[in-house]
Structure 1
Amino acid sequence: MQSLAEIRKELSEARARMDQIFSLFTQETLYERPIPERHRVIFYVGHVEAFDWNQICRWTLGQSSFHSTFDTLFEAGIDPEVGSQQADTPSDWPSMTEVRRYNLKAREAVDRALEEAPEPIVRMAIEHRWMHAETTAYILHHAPRAGKKQPSGSQATEGRSPQHRFIDIPQGRVTLGRREGFGWDNEFGEHQVDVPAFAMSQYKVTNQQYRQFVEEGGAIPPFWVKRDEQWWLKTMFDEIPLPNHWPVYVSLIDARAYADWAGLSLPTEAQFHRAAYGKLAGSEQVYPWGQASPNGVQGNFNFQHWDPVSVTAYSQGNSAFGISQLVGNGWEWTITPFRPFEGFQPYATYPGYSSRFFDDDHFIVKGGSPTTASSLLRRSFRNWFRQGYPHAHVGFRCVRNT
């Protein structure tokens, strides 16, 4: 159980991070759509506050709405098929002044309600806000350079080059899911899975490795640009010569194509868990590096950097088997479709959080990106995207099944 002071502190930190990210968009860009399939940025400005108000004050504590139109307008995001386009225009959305007025009232109401609100609902609101900090960060990445402001301390660095190799992972049993404590609905249903021996690449696939695939006809990653026969990378706030040793970010479709081209495979969710949290003997670890909290910084997450770093960085965060960066520096695709565990029960106040994505198009990603909050790095946390979704900070590594 967290104290009320601890809850208020974490909520304040999450709010401050979201406020910072929104401040990096120019006023004009707030009404644009950097990712065609998603809402305009203005939706997210109102969404995080509407979510808190709806979940905590309206649906849990039964408080009367002070702006029912905005409660509904900003209630839920969208997840259309990749390549689709939305039909709304900037004029369809309320002014920033109106949205900020609504947000202020929502925050004040939530702050007054924290003493009586159930802790799991407040925890849900805080983690939802951290999720949207990450979503908004990669939307910011897709915004044109003229449409955003560069903060201080955001310069990218290349880092040490890797010596690529595969590491043998012995057979073992992994724990998927959880039984108790806070988690999202798809995390529950703890169970054991036996994983046969396999080998996994020590590092995520890098830009340098993927470039050879591109030169032989592979799909070009979304953040790459070719100019004057040289490859450049769109970083969060700039364009730089393609860093060879950073992880490449691609869709699952393209990651699978690379693995097929290389004569390899992508890991399952269970294989990821075995490599990340398993040991030669004894119980599984809480994090790849052991039991210690991620607040000590064992990787590129929690906004340590806006962009990736070399796949060789943060070696103190390696798993017990010596696999690098299984948490941080980019989510990692698995070939496990997003499905519920046995006994799945949706949250009463958020029944569609997971269930509407249980299909053959959404797949599990594990680990974390540079802008993933520490609280989302728990072993049971499951993220997911459509297999063709190319916009998020998701990379991959390969396995060799034995």
Structure 2
Amino acid sequence: MNREPALRHPLLARLAEARRTTDELFDIVRPEHLYERPIAERHRIVFYIGHLEAFDRNLLDGRVFDLPSANPEFDQLFAFGIDPVDGGLPTDQPHEWPTLDEVRAYTKRIRDDIDARLDPVEITKQPVSTDEADPATLLEVAIEHRLMHAETLAYMLHQLPLDQKTGPALAHEPASDPAVRHDMVRVPAGTATLGLRRESGAFGWDNEFGELQVDVPAFEIDRYMVSNGDYLKFIDAGGYANRACWSDADWSWKESAGITHPAFWIRDVARGAWKLRTMFEEIALPADWPVYVSHAEANAYARWAGKALPSEAQWQRAAHGAPLAADGNFDFRRWDPSAVQAHPENRSAFGVEGQFGNGWEWTSTAFGPLPGFEPFPFYLGYSANFYDNKHFVLKGGSPRTAACMLRPSFRNWFQAHYQYVYAGFRCVRD
């Protein structure tokens, strides 16, 4: 049995690294606060400690090897997250969850059992079960699922009060150009390629397959993402009170929820200024960082500016030729955004900058299937459960997005009214 780290299969090394990433994230939270629910629409933090290991157990059991359950009740309890879209929020109380010792014992047992069986497994692209899953693909799913949670957990922990977590003392880069010159770049008519060919052999999630060629007419797009400074002009102009800027559904949401500003902004009433809540502190609002907002807020700004959000095909077309810069703001390198103009080396063939990393970017495209969509047989609801015209496609990536998911075909999605994603936007004009 080969347990030399340097000689193990690369997927096993990636799994170990992904585990370290999520373990370190949970360590940010002071133990007495692991039963908090920082975002009302999500489970309590303790759920995710159990979920990551339960997911791996439920995915691999019977497909790569037999994995007897040490606790079938926990396997079910920690199986699925939640994403309520109709106003129904979870009401469970902390005392209804297992103790932290019980959860830790459960997760340790799963890791130990999986690792003992993975080492001797031949990791191939050959199916080993009736649902035609192979060990390599299933390990890719386990790794990327965990890395996705490493990002979405950051959204959750970001909303946790500062005194409930620990973190490094951070020295933030000063705003280098508060008045970013926001010109638009012309993108000529051409073809955008969405998705992947099934026969490519590349790993992708089920919604990525079904390559689609889209003819895109010429358009203009912002060179940079919309910054905090840009968005402040919208707020100062009364954008949140201007009914004309909002769709009916978005206005209803904003009014009923009492939304008056981005979720990451804090009003410093005494000084008459805005501050930004970062993961570990509150700082003066950096004017040239990208603004992080919901799809509804991004769409309202675009309408106010006389523009629109790009379609998925327009965004993809604009990104043609963009390299993934080695020093870009992604792959857990920073907790915070960089200035929108900070990565000129990440420039597309048309001069659009910073499309990969630094913040996901909302599109106007409702999340849906590409041609010939087939759900993963071992994860039937991963995409299909969200083809509901209530979730919208995001492209690019954020500072907390793993590098492997910056591939051009990757399609992220969230509800239009969810404010907590590290997501911004840029606008287009025909």
**Counterpart of 1:129?**
146
The residue type paired with residue 262 of structure 2 is P
- The aligned residue for residue 263 of structure 1 is 306
Q: Which residue of 2 aligns with 1:274?
A: 317
Aligned to 1:166: 184
Query: What is the CA distance between 1:164 and its match in structure 2?
Result: 1.2
Say which of 172, 188, 192 aligns to 1:156. Answer: 172
Q: Check conservation: 1:57, 1:113, Cα contact below 8 A.
A: no
Stretches of structure 2 lacking an aligned partner (at least 5 in a row) = 1-6, 124-134, 241-259
Aligned twin of 1:51: 55
Q: CA-atom RMSD, angstroms? A: 1.5
Looking at structure 1, the residues matched to 144 and 342 of structure 2 have their Cα atoms a distance apart, in angstroms, of: 27
Match for 1:371: what amino acid? Answer: R
Tell me which residue corresponds to 1:368: 397
One-letter amino acid of the counterpart of residue 95, structure 1:
T
The equivalent residue for 1:313 is: 342
Shift of 1:246: 0.4
Partner residue of 2:129? none
Contact 1:58–1:64, Cα closer than 8 Å, also in 2: no
Could you tell me how far 1:57 is from its partner in structure 2?
2.4
Structure 2 counterpart of 1:192: 213
**2:95 paired residue among 87, 91, 94:** 91
Decide whether aligned partners of structure 1 residues 121 and 4 sit closer, same or farther in structure 2, where only a CA change above 3 A counts: farther
Structure 1 range deviating more: 59-68 or 36-45: 59-68
> 2:247 is matched with which residue?
none
SS at match of 1:64: coil
Pair 1:316–1:159, CA change in 2 (3 A): farther
Q: In the alignment, is the contact (CA less than 8 A) between 2:206 and 2:374 conserved in 1?
A: yes
Match of 1:13 in 2: 17
Q: Report deviation, 1:110.
A: 1.8
> Is the contact made by 2:57 and 2:67 (CA closer than 8 Å) also made in structure 1?
no
Tell me, yes or no, if the aligned pair for 2:266 and 2:275 is still in contact at 8 Å.
yes
The one-letter code matched in structure 1 to 2:266 is: V
- 1:147 is aligned, of 149, 160, 164, to 164
**SS where residue 88 of structure 1 aligns?**
coil
Change (3 A) 1:83 1:310: farther
Report the alpha carbon displacement of residue 319 of structure 1 after superposing the two structures with TM: 1.4
Distance 1:355-1:265 versus aligned 2 partners, 3 A rule: same
- Tell me the equivalent position of 2:233: 212
Residues 111 and 100 of structure 1, relative CA distance in 2, 3 Å threshold: same
CA shift for structure 1 position 314: 1.7
Query: Contact 1:170–1:196 at 8 Å: present in 2 too?
Result: yes
For 2:162 and 2:403, how far apart are their aligned partners in 1?
28
Kept in 2, the 8 Å contact 1:158–1:246? The answer is no
Corresponding position: 1:323 with 2:366: no
Q: Cα–Cα, structure 1 residues 82 and 31, in superposed 2: closer, same or farther, change >3 Å?
A: farther
**Mapped contact 1:232–1:239 kept (Cα < 8 A):** yes
TM-score norm. by structure 1 comes to: 0.92
Stretches of 4+ moved more than 6 A in 1?
A: none
In structure 1, runs of 5+ residues without a counterpart are 279-284
- Higher mean displacement: 54-63 or 251-260: 54-63
1:70 aligns with 2:74: yes
